[in-house]
Amino acid sequence: MELKRVSIKDVAKEAGVSASTVSYVLNSTPTETISPETTKRVMEAVRNLGYVPNLNARSLSSRRSNLIGVLIPQTEPGKELMFSNPFYGELLSSIEYTARQHGYHLLLSGTKEDQDYRSIAQNRGVDGVIIVGTYPGENLNALKKLDVPIVLVDSYIKDEAFHTIGIEDKEGARMATRYLIAKGHRRIAFISGSIRENGVNIKRFQGYRDAMLEAGLAIDDQAVYSGAVDYEYGMAAAREFLSRGKRQTAAFVTADVITMGLIKGLKQQRVRVPEDLSIVSFDDVYLAQMAYPALTTVHQDIGEKGKQAVQLILNAAKSKEHRHTECILPLRLVERESVREWRDEA
């Protein structure tokens, strides 16, 4: 669905004046040549039609609004933005901080899947757009026509039209799973948010799978848990872990916020971490060190991710050519308290 853009001519027609008069009213300080009545009529037409002046004559690449659009998806209907995962707060903080250092401000939208992202960005005349997470392909195609730099964060969509910034999700997951194997674990659960095409969780699942297979370990269907990236799902996964018979001694969990809920849920069921279940988590949000036990987790540099996303837009805006840039940030495992060595009681 694409909204028809209201033009200055539509406003002029509605107000019964010429397009140049509309233009004057919107852009000049009041002059004697335009009467208050005319001004009022134009402004009413502007309001009635929902006209937004086209600030971005985008073919003229010199035009800048110093505004960066940030789209954080509402992937789960009914949920409010960012509440459920501190990852978004940290990323947004870094994006905002970096943008501000360069004299830019943020236009923040937590979009719904059925909204037209393009019209949002276009009407606001943004200089670039940062999109966090995975989107339906159709909406991204509409965004391509914006003719401003677009950075996809944590998406595996490959398209010359977009810059991308991400991490080695598959490698990080492999690192986490190998670590558990090295500690003696053989039965290892995989617990994640929903697994979607072009998203990070499918890559993390592949990393888990590869580490298991290279160690000659079987992947049990019953060891794979998939839900939502939030605290509540972690609690639910704990209940599920019990109802499936507590078959694993360790788990790789793809987000710290899930792990927090998981630990809480396990505690309620008297399953101890790491005594009964060892956990390696992912993200290293600031919560990870606050947890009890503190989380052993795959650290990604969220601050750097936000910083680089802004930098990609600033660089792309400077250069004339729209060259696709791909930025991959390194990962490392941080050892804390949520894993113990396992010796099989066989």
Instruction: Identify whether the C-beta of residue 170 lies closer than 8 Å to the C-beta of residue 206.
Output: yes
Closest to a copy of itself by CB, 23 or 226: 23
Determine if 96 is a binding residue for a copy of itself (CB under 8 A).
yes
| Helical axes 302-318 vs 86-101, angle rounded to 10° | 40
Among 39, 177, 198, 296, binds a copy of itself (CB under 8 A): 39
Stretch that binds a copy of itself, among 88-96, 199-207, 209-217, 314-322 (CB under 8 A): 88-96
Environment class of residue 299 by beta-carbon count within 10 Å: exposed (0-12), middle (13-18) or buried (19+)? Answer: middle
Contact pick of 82, 217, 271, 317 for a copy of itself (by CB under 8 A): 82
Residue 26 binding a copy of itself, by CB under 8 A: yes
Residue 246 CB-density burial (10 A; 0-12 exposed, 13-18 middle, 19+ buried): middle
**What is the b/e burial string over 21-31, where b = at least 16 CB atoms within 10 angstroms of the residue's CB?**
bbebbeeeeee
Q: Under rule CB under 8 A, which residues in 172-231 are in contact with a copy of itself?
A: 231
> Which stretches within the chain are classed as H helix?
8-15, 19-27, 36-49, 86-101, 117-124, 137-144, 169-182, 200-214, 231-243, 256-268, 287-290, 302-318
Binding of a copy of itself at residue 329 (CB under 8 A)? no
**Under the criterion CB under 8 A, does residue 60 sit at the interface with a copy of itself?**
yes
Contact flag: residue 324 with a copy of itself (CB under 8 A): no
Closest CA to 254 of 314, 149, 170: 170
Q: 12 or 250, CB closer to a copy of itself?
A: 12
Say how many C-beta atoms besides its own lie within 10 A of residue 180's C-beta. 28
101 or 222: CB nearest a copy of itself: 101
Q: Which of 18, 35, 97, 137 binds a copy of itself (CB under 8 A)?
A: 97
Name residues contacting a copy of itself, limited to 303-322 (CB under 8 A).
303
**Angle, in degrees to the nearest 10, between helices 19-27 and 8-15:** 100
CB-based contacts of 213, cutoff 8 Å, min separation 6: 219
d(CA 275, CA 147): 54
Beta carbon of residue 108, minimum distance to a copy of itself (angstroms, whole number): 4
Which pairing describes strands 67-71 and 128-132: parallel, antiparallel, or unpaired?
parallel
Nearer to a copy of itself, 18 or 141 (CB): 18
Q: Does 18 interact with a copy of itself (rule: CB under 8 A)?
A: no
Region of 93-101, 131-139, 156-164, 218-226 interacting with a copy of itself (CB under 8 A): 93-101
Tokens representing 290?
A: 């606050």
Single out the segment in contact with a copy of itself by CB under 8 A; choices: 145-153, 191-199, 281-289, 338-346. 281-289
Binding site for a copy of itself (CB under 8 A): 7-8, 19-20, 22-30, 39-40, 43-44, 46-47, 52-55, 57, 60, 62-65, 67, 80-83, 86, 88-90, 92-94, 96-97, 100, 105-112, 120, 124, 231, 260-261, 264, 267, 286-287, 289-292, 303
